[in-house]
Amino acid sequence: MNRLNGKTAVITGGATGIGRAAAKRFIEEGAFVFIFGRRQEALDAALADLGPHARAVRGSVSDPADLDRLYAAVKAERETLDIVFANAGTGSPLALGQITGEHIDETFDTNVKGTILTVQKALPLMGSGGSIILTGSSAGTTGAPGFTVYSASKAAVRNLARTWAQDLKGTGIRVNVLSPGATATELAKEALGEEGQKAYGAMTPLQRMADPAEIGAVAAFLASSDSSFMTASEVAVDGGLAQL
């Protein structure tokens, strides 16, 4: 398929996990992709895998100057931007009663502030037909024990799409949320181990964790004109975890 032929995409958190899987799928479907992330080593490894239709910019979504560098690079090489996948996110467990201001700031700086800045700074390069995709989470719907701050941040991301769909009326730009559940990313493998992944996957009706490529495939759908009458929507790709 070449649903994204000639399109230019930005993917934050694009060096690993869901972001890298989405970048690979976007390129397979004809897009030119800029990946953005904090670790140069991971960016270099991703570029080696993704090939000549990818570029990498190092930086943090919570730093406006880093995002300015990203979009300056996009403008210099491609002039305009068609797809923004605001995928960068962070989260760690901290039980109620132990939550600190630092923990709140770290999580919301990336998941909420970073998402807002990523999208807001992209808009001058976007036009009619553009697609914005925000990474939510099943935890934003169900909550997750010990993940108060992360769950709240992802609920906020869900609301951003509802608000922005109204703010973007008349522009032809769509905004939707992609909400994964249990996904076998590098981070999940490190945090959960093999047994933890099996236990987490068993919580879903499909009895397994998702492969990042399965999430990337849905991101490609939301990026393409196949989803042209969708905005303000949330697409759950969670094996049914938050649906039952």
- Give, for 40, the enclosing helix (H) or strand (E): helix 40-50
Give the torsion through C-alpha atoms of 9, 11, 16, 17, to 10 deg. -100
Known catalytic membership, residue 154: yes
3-state secondary structure 156-223: HHHHHHHHHHHHCCCCCCEEEEEEECCECCHHHHHHHHHHHHHHHHHCCCCCCCECHHHHHHHHHHHH
Q: Which of 7, 150, 169, 198 is catalytic?
A: 150
Residue 55 β-bridge partners = 34
- The residue to which tokens 């992330």 are assigned: 37
198 included as an active-site residue? no
Q: Which of 154, 169, 198, 200 is catalytic?
A: 154
Catalytic residues: 150, 154
